């Protein structure tokens, strides 16, 4: 059985707990790993620094990436992932509270697969995260699939 | 002058004198502040509602009814604050928006907004009396928001009147021209006319007429962005009239 992993890049611990809760409930991913800033996300994906020997598949099935992040912000993480052949194809969903047109535009220009705004209301937020999980883990065919 | 609140500060700087660079810069900074306020308050609000729902979800059955009722009140407060933040976001976007003035047929705009509002106020008994050919030069999207807020108010506050009439027509004052929206509904005490334009200020209880108290803030922000002025007049039980005046050249 394929291991489906989500990398959640989220610096707000409460949003992290709520997202984890929703993902647990839809029961799709075998594991959800969390990076709490942009640098951690890069280290995780490139298996560097504190993540040098991390277990699990090379790449997660999906990266859920916030934009406003400490150290390296989400848009820069996105650009660095797309510039590297190891990560250029990994599906990336931007999940952000930003409603700025230029953030959305720049995300798509930089190769994001999707841009999702965090709804203010928690009910909608939970539904959005659940749908996002179902779509990217169960519906979407990933670039590097089973042969 | 009434004592200014933080929200008012936002609107003072949109007054017609706001041609000066410094004032324009101040307006920009204040609207960015309002934006980040409404934006950054989202995450903790989402958390408050999310964790409350989590308790109800996981332990609701085990809680005594009073505890469930208290948590339901938390959810109600969260929803109201969420709506207020969305409203502040709307006002902030009006203040930040790039103005693209064009000739607008206000009478047609009124007809279009009326159609849009008819589902919100289904079965409303109002008679409409809209002067044809009202024109003005304004940003169509912004003006639409202002007209929507004015008509929504007129409908709301006349919803309990016997055979109410809503009138829209030409209005002129001090070399400025524009339009008025008048209803003969619940009205208000004219002494409080200025307060009406303060964000979240309401002259009626929520159980009398629902709402957040932001519609007229939007109207003032829109008209202010065009260098115009908005004024209100009314009497309790007799109705209310709101006049939007634009500087000469801004209105035909």
Partnered with residue B240 across adjacent β-strands are B183, B234
For A61, other C-beta atoms within 10 Å of its C-beta total 21
* Nearest Cβ partner for A14 among B43, B78, B85: B43
Quote the pLDDT of residue B3. 43
Q: Which residue of A has its CA nearest to B45?
A: A120
Q: Each residue of B118-138: b (16+ CB within 10 Å) or e?
A: eeebeeeebeeebeeebbbeb
Residue A60, min C-alpha distance to chain B (Å): 26
Strand B229-235 relative to strand A62-65: parallel, antiparallel, unpaired?
Answer: unpaired
Which SS3 state, helix, strand or coil, does residue B114 take?
Answer: helix
Nearest to B219 by CA among B248, B247, B245: B245
Task: Look at B167 and A121; give whichever has higher pLDDT.
Answer: B167
CA distances from B30 to B8, B36, B38, B95 (A): 11, 10, 12, 9
Instruction: Say yes or no for a CB contact (<8 Å) between B43 and A125.
Output: no
In sequence order, which residues have a C-beta less than 8 Å from that of residue B100 and are 6 or more positions away? Answer: B139, B140
Where do the H-state alpha helices sit in chain B?
6-12, 21-40, 42-59, 65-96, 106-117, 140-157, 215-225
Contacts with A102 (C-beta within 8 Å, 6 or more apart), sequence order: none
Interface mutation vs chain B, best among A23, A98, A122, A130, most B CBs within 10 Å: A122
In this complex, is the C-beta atom of A126 within 8 Å of any C-beta atom belonging to chain B? Answer: yes
The interface pTM score, or ipTM, of the predicted complex is: 0.72
Whether A102 has its CB under 8 Å from any CB of chain B: the answer is no
Mean pLDDT for A51-66 is 88
Structure tokens at A128: 């959005």
Mean pLDDT of B60-66: 94
Q: What does the alpha-carbon distance between residue A85 and residue A93 come to, in Å, rounded to a whole number?
A: 18
Does the pLDDT of residue B247 top 60, yes or no?
Answer: yes
Q: Work out the minimum CA distance from B164 to partner chain A, whole angstroms.
A: 37
Determine the 3-state secondary structure of A121 from DSSP: coil
Comparing CB atoms, the residue among B39, B46, B89 nearest residue A122 is B46
Bridge partners for A63 per DSSP: A7, A92
pTM over 0.90: no
Using 50, 70 and 90 to split pLDDT, how confident is the model at B142? Answer: very high
Cβ neighbours for B231, distance < 8 A, ≥ 6 positions apart: B193, B242, B243, B245
**Is residue A78 scored above 50 in pLDDT?**
yes
| B165-173 and A62-65 beta bridge pairing | unpaired
Q: Is the pLDDT of residue B17 over 80?
A: no
pLDDT tens digit string along A81-107?
A: 999 999 999 999 999 887 778 889 999
> Is the separation of the CB atoms in A77 and A69 below 8 Å?
yes
The tokens for A71 are: 């150290």
Say whether residue B115 is in contact with chain A using an 8 A CB cutoff: no
Q: What mean pLDDT value characterizes chain A?
A: 88
Note whether B35 contacts A: Cβ–Cβ < 8 A. Answer: no
Tokens for B238, please give them: 């007799």
| Contact A101/B at CB under 8 A | no
> How many angstroms separate the CA atoms of A96 and A22, rounded?
16
Contact A15 B43 (CB under 8 A): yes
């Amino acid at each position: 059985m394929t291991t489906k992993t989500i990398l959640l890049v989220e610096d707000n611990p409460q949003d992290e707990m709520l997202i984890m809760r929703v993902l647990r409930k839809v029961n799709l991913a075998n594991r959800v790993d969390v990076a709490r800033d942009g640098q951690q996300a890069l280290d995780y994906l490139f298996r560097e620094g504190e993540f040098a020997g991390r277990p699990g598949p090379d790449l997660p099935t999906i990266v859920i990436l916030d934009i406003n992040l400490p150290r390296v912000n989400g848009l820069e993480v996105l650009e660095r992932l797309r510039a590297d052949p190891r990560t250029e194809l990994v599906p990336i969903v931007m999940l952000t509270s930003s409603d700025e047109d230029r953030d959305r535009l720049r995300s798509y220009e930089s190769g994001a697969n999707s841009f999702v705004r965090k709804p203010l209301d928690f009910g909608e937020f939970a539904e959005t995260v659940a749908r996002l999980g179902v779509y990217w883990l169960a519906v979407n065919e990933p670039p590097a699939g089973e042969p | 002058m009434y004592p200014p609140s933080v929200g008012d500060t936002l609107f003072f700087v949109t007054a017609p004198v706001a041609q000066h660079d410094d004032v324009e810069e101040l307006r920009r900074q204040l609207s960015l502040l309002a934006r980040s306020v409404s934006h950054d308050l989202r995450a903790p609000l989402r958390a408050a509602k999310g964790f409350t729902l989590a308790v109800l979800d996981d332990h609701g059955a085990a809680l005594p009814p009073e505890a469930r009722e208290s948590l339901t009140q938390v959810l109600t407060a969260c929803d109201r604050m969420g709506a207020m933040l969305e409203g502040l976001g709307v006002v902030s976007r009006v203040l930040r928006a790039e103005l693209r003035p064009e000739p607008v047929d206000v009478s047609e705009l009124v007809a279009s907004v009326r159609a849009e509002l008819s589902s919100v106020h289904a079965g409303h008994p109002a008679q409409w009396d809209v002067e044809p050919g009202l024109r003005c030069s304004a940003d169509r999207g912004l003006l639409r928001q202002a007209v929507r807020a004015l008509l929504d108010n007129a409908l709301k506050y006349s919803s309990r009147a016997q055979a109410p009439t809503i009138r829209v027509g030409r209005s002129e004052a001090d070399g400025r021209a524009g339009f008025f929206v008048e209803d003969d509904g619940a009205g208000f005490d004219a002494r409080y006319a200025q307060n009406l334009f303060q964000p979240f200020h309401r002259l009626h209880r929520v159980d009398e007429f629902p709402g957040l108290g932001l519609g007229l803030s939007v109207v003032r922000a829109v008209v202010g962005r065009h260098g115009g002025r908005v004024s209100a007049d009314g009497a309790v039980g007799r109705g209310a009239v709101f006049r939007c005046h634009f500087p000469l050249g801004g209105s035909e």
